[in-house]
Amino acid sequence: MAGSFRLVVAVTCTLVLASACQGLEVGYYKKTCPRVEAIVRDEVKKFVYKNAGIGAGLIRLVFHDCFVQGCDGSVLLDPTPVNPQPEKLSPPNMPSLRGFEVIDAAKDAVEKTCPGIVSCADIVAFAARDATYFLSRFKVKINMPAGRLDGRVSIASEALNNLPPPFSNITELINSFATKGLDAEDMVVLSGAHTVGRSHCSSFVPDRLAVPSDISAWFANILKRRCPANPTPGNDPTVNQDIFTPNAFDNQYYKNVLEHKVLFKSDAALITTPATAKMVNDNAFIPGWWEDKFAKAFVKMAGIEVKIGNQGEIRKNCRVVNYGRPNY
């Protein structure tokens, strides 16, 4: 098993579409804050080694950030009297989105060394990259471009409108990713992040456990024992998205898809067309294939609609816009 972790995947902006990077640069802070990536990695390591679920949360956090207003840290903004409903309070994010405390800790550590230099949006991207690195047991190493600015707009309804729900079919998934400049293969590859993390029962009950269903009877029985038939806010347990290797960032997810042992309709949808089914099969059985594809797609996703110039700012506190700026 140890030998299987020797592969290291390194990806930079030059290996993906130039348009995805939008002026981002690997080593962006090498002169202004040369230790920033090491500082963020140390903070992520502290949290992930205590709780692998936090790592899964950080990976999900960058996806939920980038699909709404672009990769600009807008998901981090807290409610204010001016804006009582920011993204983080939207149903796709609350209460399941995790990792905010890691971003706070990393930002505090960075500010002590390089005040006013590093954006929260870049810290989110670095933290997700580092969580991937640790959960993959150092197998996936991504050179993450930086240079994002923090946005000033965060609206809960935009999360509902932009984040693909877990009941999406294959056409809806492909279209949702296409609007962000990502193709069908990017969608299939990035879906592999469901190999880690947990989900509330309400995200798939009762639809996925109804009869008839494509879900494995064996897996359905396990879920029925762990989930109430009608989850409520007061009774909505969580279950591992990957029952076999829940804390490992690996390609087991794709084997689960093929065996009909996945939670969401959107997971099961990946094998409903010949083209995407082939991608699933390749990711499941070609050694190193998915890790390489994921690293490239991850860099591409982390470049969605980044803000530059007067479009954004460097927040002093990741949870609030800078003084005198609107948060709406």
| Residues with catalytic roles | 64
Distance CA 185, CA 179 (A): 14
List, as one string, the DSSP characters of 186-198. HHHHHHGGGGS-E
Neighbours of 322 (CB within 10 A): 14
First vs last Cα of the chain: how many Å apart?
A: 50
Cis link prior to 91 (omega < 30° from 0)?
A: no
Beta bridge partners of residue 313, listed in sequence order? 150
Distance CA 293, CA 188 (A): 10
Distance CA 236, CA 231 (A): 5
Element (H, E) at 238: strand 238-240
Beta bridge partners of residue 199, listed in sequence order? 239
Beta bridge partners of residue 240, listed in sequence order? 198
Distance CA 100, CA 97 (A): 8
Measured on CA atoms in the order 211, 213, 215, 218, is the torsion positive or negative?
positive
